[in-house]
Structure 1
Amino acid sequence: MAATEASGAAQDEYDVIVLGAGPTGENLADRAHAAGLSTVVVETELVGGECSYWACMPSKALLRPVTSRAEAGRVPGLKDAVAGPLDAPAVLAHRDAVTSYWKDDGQVRWLDSAGIDLVRGHGRLAGPRRVVVDGERVLTARHAVAVCTGSRPVLPPVPGLAEARPWTSREATSAKSVPGRLVVVGGGVVGVEMATAWRALGSSVTLLVRGDGLLPRMEPFAGRLVAEALAEAGAYLRTGVEVREVRREAPGGPVTVVLDSPPGPGGPGGTPRDEIVADELLIATGRAPRTDDIGLETIGLSPGSWLDVDDSCRVTGVTGGWLYGVGDVNHRALLTHQGKYQARIAGAAIGARARGVPILETDPWGAHAATADRRAVPQVVFTDPEVASVGLTAAAAERAGYRTRVVDHDLGAVAGAFLYADGYRGRARMVVDLDREVLLGVTFVGPGVGELLHSASVAVAGEVPLERLWHAVPSYPTISEVWLRLLESYRG
């Protein structure tokens, strides 16, 4: 049966039902189908999901001109040629093209070509192995139902915030024009990337952070270098502040953000410190699972909760072991590439169980165990400078009880960085497990470091001994030569 839309009362049986047609759902469906299982995907919005239309792809389309211009401006002979402002309408038009103008025809064709059925509508669990779409069409799974519904932005409980209709990540990546004044609340990845993009496109940007720095889950020097660059670009960063109230008198009118004093040694603050008026307000402070209206209560689970899973992504506590929670919904690593990784693992596990093949979901690095979610998660923050990290930070490794040594190197001191850009600024760090002499984590900060990351991911996931890494010779003159410098510093 080709890609279809729900209509009328119908009942269908498949081996596997997938809720959600984002990258995670698409990949799981593909792996299940490759294992010989009939598979259907249920999607209420666009096939391709958050990443394709409101997250990874449009945000990087907005950021690529920003980082390209910044890097070109550091190369002799190009600085004057790129001195002018970005062509904002052209950037937004390219963003629209990257998202296929928010149409999913191409992704639907891919599902059809792969032999995977599509049912459009809102799917809800209705007991074990049953999904009802829009209250009409009943789907039954012989082997598995996989929840791949992702996550959504969360608005904190600030008076007036919801009524002010602030931007979330969706509006920030799909806006049709450049706001004159933009307030961004949140110093995580979405906050710093969107502050970078919209400042370069012409917005006056104020970034408000509750804590004392940016990118708090990464090495501290990463947030410091990004903060310095944002300040140099003209963004205004304020740390240690909280939003107390938000007011917008008329739809489309200016928004007023009222701030609290930071807590002092004598007790918490509570009086307004000041007010900021902007044209738009972006809230980038957290996400919640899209599990609040998918029928979890019909199988004894709490609606709106994150799904606890084993390493094969099978939901724990569900009789019969037929339910899987893959991607953001299990809260293991809220990243598109990690969701796709989990989908490959879960799809293989579903296929093996359907064939009656014994699997070892607790076997680290095995075909049916998502292990990288704990030990080797890679992530790139596409700011200027870029931040690229994999594995544990030094602080996380210490908390986990490892005996470690931290090795740092000035990334701008290698010959490749000198050629890459005048005044190249960056830093590299590796965290070494002293007992096994393997890498627990690596972080790079600097222009273009995103393309360095996979070498680090291979070293961390592969637990490559440092003595063997010594024989992995970096080409000269490239920025990758920093590997040699890090190893030299470690060996002394």
Structure 2
Amino acid sequence: MTDAAQDTEYDVVVIGAGPVGENVADRTRAAGLSTAVVESELVGGECSYWACMPSKALLRPVVARADARKVPGLDGAVRGPLDADAVLAYRDDEAAHWKDDGQVAWLEGIGADVHRGRGRLSGVRQVTVTGPDGPDGTEKRLTARHAVAVCTGSRAVVPPLPGADGVRPWTSREATSAHQVPGRLVVVGGGVVGVEMATAWQGLGAQVTMLVRGDRLLPKMEPFAGELVGEALAGAGARVLTGVSASSVRREGENGPVTVELDDGRSLEADEILFATGRAPRTDDLGLDTVGLEPGSWLSVDDSCRVEGSDWLYAVGDVNHRALLTHQGKYQARVAGAAIAARATGTPPPATGRWEAHAATADHAAVPQVVFTDPEAASVGLTLAEAEEAGHRVRAVDYDLASVAGSGLYVKGYRGHARMVVDLDREVLLGVTFVGPGVGELLHSATVAVVGEVPLDRLWHAVPAYPTISEVWLRLLETFRG
């Protein structure tokens, strides 16, 4: 830990030491810029301790068992319940038992100074740190010669339902760090967090009921994604109620059950309730007002992640609301770090340009995402509806993944679907979606095709190995050609 004096000057000050802040620091240090990183919680951030890593550790045994039950010769060996204690212990290991020593050592190893405490803007290029590093409760003042990067991420939103404050609801943090399997769990929300946590806890033995305000799960993906995931959840024993919302909640006593009143007059009882109903920026206590910005707001940025109207302030990752995904935030961090270094050395990046080192173009054109449910859902780029809304002349090309030889070998009774959205004017891909067991590992090939704007005539020569699920690429191209 740094022993810096109360007033210290750096080239760059990063507020937030999650994966995004770590990557900004890595790029600025690689460019030779002195860098301070300020963190109020655990170095490694939401992804390491309450999101990506613990959630996927909970999901992996559930999905692996579901796949194994569909493999002849193996199915009979995996009919019993999962060892929930072993799964939770595995999750604890993947979350490093909520200790950040290793990540602190990594940051210090690249030459960044780590400051424990809450960082707030206190003026142009000024950051005040209060908390554990301040002796006797005093403050430290950090000055940035070139840039301050806000990498504070986002937080889960609990809707203002009557009674919500009194039931101690789960958010994504509690859902990924709980140490007991609830007997009954109500999940409010049908997006990624909702379906992943419903899959995980149902697989670990909870009786799950999902409340989905809209008419389908995963509303930001192609419609068939939510349909297939919803059917599988129902097949596993979960109840998926669409077109319904909670109107109020209450808990009986300190540890009693939660009663959920629905807007259609019905009521449900559960041991825990998870609100997976959206995210808000962590900017409400950041001192934005000291630099003329609105506290609690998302920060609008250009493609280099520099805050609009500023020549020194950057907002990277969830906080800019461009693509709320860890891998996309890390991508933005690499772009922002390169842009900060270029401007610091007097070689500013081009004012415009796509797919440049200083432009996060993929935020607009090629955001990849895998939903780690059973089946998996994986997508990159635009859906058919998004492409049409953007004014592209497009065609959706669909194929049943169960018709590919490799899928039948993967599991018996494979169910899945693939779609590519073709720009008919240029004959390149604008988007691709796969749903089915194991399709997450197919996604990067689709991402390369979308980012590279590879002509379909050239993709024809990318021969998929037989018999793999990736043979779907050949089938999609054959369908397009007719």
TM-score by length of 2: 0.98
Residue 142 (structure 2) aligns with: 139
Residue 74 (structure 2) aligns with: 78
Among 468, 471, 474, the residue aligned to 1:478: 468
Residue 415 (structure 1) aligns with: 405
Matches within 5 A, 1:111-122: 111-122=107-118
Among 251, 254, 264, the residue aligned to 2:254: 251
Residue 268 (structure 2) aligns with: 276
1:164/1:255 contact within 8 Å kept: yes
Query: Residues of 2 paired with 1:70 and 1:141: CA distance?
Result: 52
Question: 1:126 aligns to what SS in structure 2?
Answer: strand
Query: Residues of 2 paired with 1:310 and 1:82: CA distance?
Result: 51
Query: Residues of 2 paired with 1:86 and 1:361: CA distance?
Result: 55
Residue type matched to 1:235 in 2?
A
Among 268, 286, 297, the residue aligned to 2:289: 297
2:16/2:37 contact within 8 Å kept: yes
Number of corresponding residues: 475
Query: Residues of 1 paired with 2:404 and 2:244: CA distance?
Result: 38
- Over 3 Å counting, the alpha-carbon distance change for 1:403 and 1:5 in structure 2 is farther
Matches within 5 A, 1:435-474: 435-474=425-464
Question: 2:123 aligns to what SS in structure 1?
Answer: coil
Query: How big is the shift at 1:460?
Result: 0.2
Residue type matched to 1:22 in 2?
G
Query: Residues of 2 paired with 1:250 and 1:363: CA distance?
Result: 59
Question: 2:230 aligns to what SS in structure 1?
Answer: helix
Residue type matched to 1:167 in 2?
W
Among 476, 481, 490, the residue aligned to 2:480: 490
Residue 334 (structure 2) aligns with: 344
1:361/1:369 contact within 8 Å kept: no
Residue type matched to 2:251 in 1?
R
Residue 370 (structure 1) aligns with: 360
Deviations along 1:86-132, one digit per CA (max 9) or x if unpaired, are 00000000000111100001101111111111000000000000000
Query: Residues of 2 paired with 1:276 and 1:209: CA distance?
Result: 14
- Over 3 Å counting, the alpha-carbon distance change for 1:361 and 1:108 in structure 2 is farther
Query: How big is the shift at 1:4?
Result: 2.3
Query: Residues of 1 paired with 2:3 and 2:170: CA distance?
Result: 31
Residue 307 (structure 2) aligns with: 315
Task: List alignment gaps of at least 5 residues for structure 2.
Answer: 131-137
Residue type matched to 2:387 in 1?
A
Residue type matched to 1:487 in 2?
L
What is the RMSD computed on CA atoms of the aligned residues?
0.9
Residue 4 (structure 1) aligns with: 2
Q: Does 1:394 align with 2:394?
A: no
Query: Residues of 1 paired with 2:351 and 2:401: CA distance?
Result: 39
Residue 122 (structure 2) aligns with: 126
Query: Residues of 1 paired with 2:12 and 2:255: CA distance?
Result: 45
Residue 265 (structure 1) aligns with: none
1:58/1:95 contact within 8 Å kept: yes
1:360/1:369 contact within 8 Å kept: no
Query: Residues of 2 paired with 1:304 and 1:38: CA distance?
Result: 29
Question: 1:313 aligns to what SS in structure 2?
Answer: coil
1:145/1:322 contact within 8 Å kept: yes
1:389/1:441 contact within 8 Å kept: yes
Residue type matched to 1:389 in 2?
S
Residue 104 (structure 2) aligns with: 108
Q: Does 1:157 align with 2:165?
A: no
TM-score by length of 1: 0.96
Q: Does 1:182 align with 2:178?
A: no
- Over 3 Å counting, the alpha-carbon distance change for 1:98 and 1:241 in structure 2 is same
Query: Residues of 2 paired with 1:242 and 1:422: CA distance?
Result: 37
2:12/2:144 contact within 8 Å kept: yes
Among 91, 94, 97, the residue aligned to 2:90: 94
1:5/1:118 contact within 8 Å kept: no
Question: 1:367 aligns to what SS in structure 2?
Answer: coil
Query: Residues of 2 paired with 1:141 and 1:314: CA distance?
Result: 15
Deviations along 1:444-473, one digit per CA (max 9) or x if unpaired, are 000000000000000001100000000000
Q: Does 1:224 align with 2:216?
A: no
Task: List alignment gaps of at least 5 residues for structure 1.
Answer: 262-272
Query: How big is the shift at 1:164?
Result: 1.1
- Over 3 Å counting, the alpha-carbon distance change for 1:200 and 1:370 in structure 2 is same
Query: How big is the shift at 1:5?
Result: 6.6
